[in-house]
């Protein structure tokens, strides 16, 4: 099933496979992609024959490298609206999805790629996959994924990557608890599907309640946290980060 050119959805044996389909852009997220992902999540939420979902990127080069910079070219107001939409359309939907969602990662998982992975219930990555949190260089907080995964992560290691924007490997990500398993290159989707098909054989209501139980501490606080995250989205530092990125220079943040 196509949801426009940007996202593909295939359902088989109780498993939905959602594919971000912009390989020429390293599966970067633009407005059309967000809309198509929303439609895909709606289908998974409403179709009770679907028992598990897998999300992946088209091709072998990237899961996703985050927001398409073209979505930011209309200035800070449009960029802020896009990022707010991304928070609610991707991270929140993954956390609240009725069924478990599994990330299958090949290549780059930068920015949204890294944070969204932490909002998934399980994640399988190829050995050569690379992760990065570049948000602080744009004046944004690295927050949503860390909020959901903080209890299972090695705080000191993740803090270094988060605060410096350094790239880290799949094996390093696995060591700190960000990934379920590291698999040979080209095998991430296969591994995710194997697990998804197993989940699809289990009692649906039990699976749904188990997922809610694992994340219950977020139920009351998550929306309040999203509002807190928006402080950085509406900051002058974010506007400066966007300008600097477009002008290919180092940002001069003033803390406002």
* Position 132 in a domain: yes
Q: How many domains, the chain?
A: 1
Is the whole model's pTM more than 0.75, yes or no?
yes
Q: For residues 67 and 29, is the Cβ–Cβ distance under 8 A?
A: yes
Q: What is the pLDDT of residues 196-205, one digit of tens each?
A: 999 999 988 8
Q: Indicate whether 11 pLDDT > 80.
A: yes
Quickly state the pLDDT bin for 243 (edges 50, 70, 90).
Answer: confident
Residue 111, domain member (yes or no): yes
pLDDT of 227 above 90: no
- On whether residue 233 sits in a domain, the answer given is no
pLDDT digits (tens, 9 = 90+) for 156-185: 888 898 889 999 999 999 999 899 999 999
How many Å apart are CA 32 and CA 3, to the nearest integer? 10
CA-based R_g, the chain, Å: 17
Check: CB of residue 57 under 8 Å from CB of residue 64: yes
Question: How far is it, in rounded angstroms, from Cα 239 to Cα 28?
Answer: 20
Task: Provide the β-strand partners of residue 168.
Answer: 131
What is the dihedral angle through the alpha carbons of 92, 98, 99, 100, rounded to the nearest 10 degrees? 30
- Show the domain range for 131: 7-188+200-204
Q: In this structure, is residue 174 part of a structural domain?
A: yes
Confidence of residue 228 (pLDDT cuts 50, 70, 90): low
List, in sequence order, the alpha helices (H) in the chain.
Answer: 31-46, 76-86, 92-96, 112-119, 144-149, 155-164, 170-175, 188-199, 204-214, 222-233, 236-247
CA distances 195 to 21, 66, 77, 124, 229, Å, are 23, 26, 41, 10, 33
Tell me the pLDDT of the chain averaged across its residues.
Answer: 85
Residue 89 domain flag: yes
pLDDT digit string, tens, across residues 44-58: 999 999 999 999 999
Q: Does 217 fall in a domain? A: no
251 lies in a domain? no
Say which CATH number the domain at 15 has: 3.90.226.10
For residue 191, is pLDDT > 80?
A: yes
> Would you say residue 144 has pLDDT above 80?
no
In a domain, 248, yes or no: no
C-alpha angle 192/198/203, rounded to 5°?
130
Would you give the distance in Å from CA 62 to the centre of its chain?
A: 12
- Residue by residue, DSSP assigns 131-168 as EE--GGGGT----HHHHHHGGGS-HHHHHHHHHH---E
């Amino acid at each position: 099933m196509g949801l426009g050119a940007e996202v593909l959805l295939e359902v088989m044996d109780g498993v939905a496979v959602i594919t971000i389909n912009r390989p020429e852009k390293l599966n970067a997220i633009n407005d059309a992609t967000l809309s198509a992902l929303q439609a895909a999540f709606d289908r998974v939420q409403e179709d009770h024959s679907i028992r598990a979902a897998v999300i992946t990127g088209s091709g072998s080069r990237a899961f996703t490298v985050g927001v398409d910079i073209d979505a930011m070219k209309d200035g800070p107001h449009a960029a802020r609206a896009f990022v707010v939409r991304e928070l609610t359309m991707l991270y929140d939907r993954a956390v609240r999805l009725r069924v478990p969602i599994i990330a299958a990662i090949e290549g780059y998982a930068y920015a949204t790629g890294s944070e969204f992975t932490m909002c998934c219930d399980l994640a399988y990555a190829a050995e050569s996959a690379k992760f990065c949190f570049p948000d602080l260089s744009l004046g944004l907080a690295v927050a949503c994924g860390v909020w959901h995964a903080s209890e299972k992560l090695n705080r000191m290691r993740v803090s270094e990557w988060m605060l410096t924007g350094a790239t880290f490997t799949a094996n390093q990500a696995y060591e700190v608890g960000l990934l379920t398993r590291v698999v040979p290159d080209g095998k991430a989707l296969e591994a995710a599907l194997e697990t998804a098909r197993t989940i699809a054989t289990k009692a649906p209501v039990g699976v749904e309640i188990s997922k809610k139980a694992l994340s219950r501490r977020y139920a009351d606080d998550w929306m309040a946290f999203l509002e807190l995250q928006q402080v950085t989205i509406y900051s002058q530092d974010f506007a400066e980060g966007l300008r600097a990125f477009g002008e290919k220079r180092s940002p001069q943040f003033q803390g406002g």
